[in-house]
Amino acid sequence: MSREKKEFPQFILDPGNLLGKVNYGDIFGRNGPLHIEIGSGKGTFLVNQARCLPGDNFIGIEWANRYYRFAVDRAGRWNLTNVRIIRADAACFIRDFIPDSSVDFFHIYFPDPWPKRRHNKRRFFSAANVEQLIRCLKTGGQIRVATDFEEYFEQIKTVLSARAGILKQTDFLPADGAQVGEWVGSNFERKYIKENRPIYTIAVRKI
């Protein structure tokens, strides 16, 4: 029997209340390094990383309602005041609400690969979306990606390398909240490790 999920409205970022680009000081009551996780699922990575880095601020974006509610419940039960979670289409939220040169890290772990060819256009990684990530990153800010899907990984590398003039590959280091043998410590990664699937990672920084 699953545990009842609480709402914890203080940890929710409501897109209906946003007017133009967000002010992080208003959201968190302080300024600090900003992490955005695209597709935060049940919030395992987000919560563990926020616990390890209490001086940093974290926004998790999740569209699937049941995962979104799970992530809010998890952040609320840990009382992580440095976390906010929003249910939104990530590409639209970033395009419309994230200010220029304001993000230190974009975390994109095990994005939906949409494996059928006719669905490939739904994948997050496209030239247009990468341009938005670049716009939002501070100089030195990073895009960190992990996936178990090799064909999608090749597409991701191609899209990122097309902007090699502004994005430089850097070491992909294990997340602060990851356990031994993990890269990021998400639910999907732990599942795939048990299944002995290879994990592909890449990190780039804005120069």
Q: How far is CA 185 from CA 47, 83, 127, 199, in A?
A: 10, 17, 28, 12
Residue 14 annotated among the catalytic residues of the structure:
no
- Indicate which residue of 56, 73, 100, 112 is catalytic: 112
- 5 close to 76: Cβ distance less than 8 angstroms: no
Residues facing residue 201 across a β-bridge = 146
Residue of 133, 135, 116 whose CA lies nearest to 124: 133
The catalytic residue positions are 112
